[in-house]
Structure 1
Amino acid sequence: MDPNLFYWKSQGQTFISRLQIWVNLLDPTSLLSSDAEIQSAHALLESGENQHEKDGQALTLSLSSVHADSGAALPLVFRPPALLPISAPLVVASFLPHSNVKPALFWQFLLQSYSAGFNYANRNSSSEQGKKMSLKQLLLIAGTVSYATCAGALPQIFINRLGVRSAPIQTFFRSIVPIPLSAALAFFNVFTVRSEESETGIQVFDSSGNPLGFSKAAGEKAVRETALSRAALFGTTAAVPNLMVLLLQRTRPFQRNSLLVAPLRHISVAFVLGLMIPVSFSLFPQLGTIRKENVEQELRAAADNGQLYYHRGL
């Protein structure tokens, strides 16, 4: 078992502890570290050496930048600390009340493409070590991005195609519909991009960290948990700013000065997204558990304490 997973096993089994860890790990300054520094930090953890402050820095760098299955440094733009700086402008732009369909499709395409790349880079890749991306996986990602792009632009498509001029109906399509739609598309993006984990299974471990084999049941559970956490992230990011703006638009200051609405919406979207990223990452353990009766028959005998462990991915 990778040292990153051993750390999550000992320190990340409650929501509060995971939240505290992720708040620390999402520091964007870690993006300035080179791949050599990241590998050195990971090697330090593997060696088990304790160098006090340096060891703490190495732990942070390893947890935030190293894939726990391959042991390799994650691509810079798909590391967890890069999620907020890169996705915030894309999310804000995708929630804008566009005047026609093309800008809505453009920003949805960028957002869904980045989400698919992030989901794929941070998947559980234990069954794929030494393999290149298959044509099937490439087509699946392309299809996911295409479908989610069109679906994400549906509110604007309806407004334009139906020639909606009524303010209440426009408000419904632009402020209410995006809430469940954003959550559903985030769930769909994770579920389809990482569907191979459910088909081939992911590696499971005993309580000592020894690999026991591959489990499709654990793969399904890992994908489902991650999809739910991502739905919570984007659903909440859509809900809070939109509902807040709807309420504030009824107050006298905002009725007198409608120009306040746009900057308030942009700032609140970025703010809620920033708050929700560590919360969503913490909803489920990075090192998940599955009861032995829920895994394949050949793995049950190896569960020494009634459960097995698996890397959930992110």
Structure 2
Amino acid sequence: MDVNLLYWKSHGQSLFSRLKIWLDLLDPSSLGASDAEIQKARTFLGSGETVGRKDEYEWNITLSSIHADSGSVLPLVFRPPAFLPITVPLVVGSFLPHRSIKSALFWQFLLQSYTAGFNHANRNSSSEQGQAAKANKLLLIAGTVSYTTCAGALPQIIVSRLGLTSLSIQNFFRFLVPIPLSAALAFFNVITVRGEESESGIQVFDSNGNPVGVSKAAAKKAVMETAWSRAALFGTTVAVPNLLVSVLERTRLFQRNTLLVAPIRHLSVALVFGLMIPLSFSLFPQLGMIRKENVEKELQAKAAEGWLFYHRGL
């Protein structure tokens, strides 16, 4: 089992401990570490020489920069610390009440493209199947981005194409419909981009960290957990600011100063999104657990204890 997974096994089994870890890992300052520095930290931690030494920095850059399956350094823009600074402007831009379909499609394309790339880079890659699978994966990602881009801009398309002039109906499509829609698209993005894992399975480990085989049941559980966490992230990010603005618009202050609505909405989206990222990443363990009765029969005999472990991905 990879040293990153061993760390999550011993430190990240409770929600509070995972949240505390992610608050440290999401520090953008760790993006300044070079590939050589990251690999040096990984080698240091893997040598078992960390007892009694202050190795928080080494753990932070290793956990946030190294893929736990391949052992390779993640692309800079798809590392967890880069998620917040890159996605905040994309999320704010995507959730604006756009005046044209083109602008809605543009912002949705940027957001869906990045999230698809992030989901793919941080997947479980323990059972990759060569170049042919990579080509199919690229086509699948392109299809996912195309579909989610059009679906994400659907409220604006409906308002513009149907020529809806009623303010209440416009608010329904622009502020209420995006709540379940954003959660559903985030869920769908993970499910489709990481769909190959459910078909081919992922590596599972016993309690001692020894690999015991490949499980499709564990893969489905890992993908579903990640999909639900991403749906919670984007659904909450849309719901809370829209609810806040709807309440504030009824106050005298905002009725007299309507120009305050837009900046309040933008700031609240950025704030809620920033707060939800570590929480959504912490909802499920990075090193997940599945009962041996729920995996394939050929793996049940290899599990000495009642649980098997798997890398969930992110």
TM tier relative to shorter chain: over 0.9
Are 1:182 and 1:231, in contact at CA under 8 Å, matched by a contact in 2?
A: yes
Q: Does 1:299 align with 2:261?
A: no
Q: Does 1:282 align with 2:282?
A: yes
* 1:230 matched residue in structure 2: 230
Distance in 2 (CA, whole Å) between partners of 1:21 and 1:223 is 21
1:75 corresponds to which letter in structure 2? P
Distance in 1 (CA, whole Å) between partners of 2:113 and 2:50 is 40
Distance in 1 (CA, whole Å) between partners of 2:50 and 2:158 is 60
SS at match of 1:128: coil
What is the 5 A alignment of 1:174-189?
Answer: 174-189=174-189
SS at match of 1:50: coil
TM-superposed deviation, 1:56: 1.6
Are 1:97 and 1:174, in contact at CA under 8 Å, matched by a contact in 2?
A: yes
* 1:161 matched residue in structure 2: 161
Q: Does 1:118 align with 2:121?
A: no
Change (3 A) 1:174 1:307: same
Which range moved further: 187-196 or 299-308?
Answer: 299-308
TM-superposed deviation, 1:73: 0.8
Moved over 6 A (4+): none
TM-superposed deviation, 1:131: 5.3
State the Cα RMSD in Å.
1.1
TM-superposed deviation, 1:183: 0.1
Distance in 2 (CA, whole Å) between partners of 1:130 and 1:209 is 26
SS at match of 1:212: strand
Distance in 1 (CA, whole Å) between partners of 2:11 and 2:273 is 25
What is the 5 A alignment of 1:248-267?
Answer: 248-267=248-267
TM-superposed deviation, 1:147: 0.2
* 1:3 matched residue in structure 2: 3
* 2:246 matched residue in structure 1: 246
Distance in 1 (CA, whole Å) between partners of 2:53 and 2:115 is 34
TM-superposed deviation, 1:44: 1.0
Distance in 2 (CA, whole Å) between partners of 1:129 and 1:86 is 30
Change (3 A) 1:214 1:78: same
- Please give the TM-score of this superposition, normalised by the length of structure 2: 0.98
**Identity across matched positions, percent:** 72
Are 1:44 and 1:55, in contact at CA under 8 Å, matched by a contact in 2?
A: no
Number of aligned residues: 314
Which range moved further: 131-140 or 251-260?
Answer: 131-140
Distance in 1 (CA, whole Å) between partners of 2:78 and 2:19 is 20
2:201 corresponds to which letter in structure 1? G
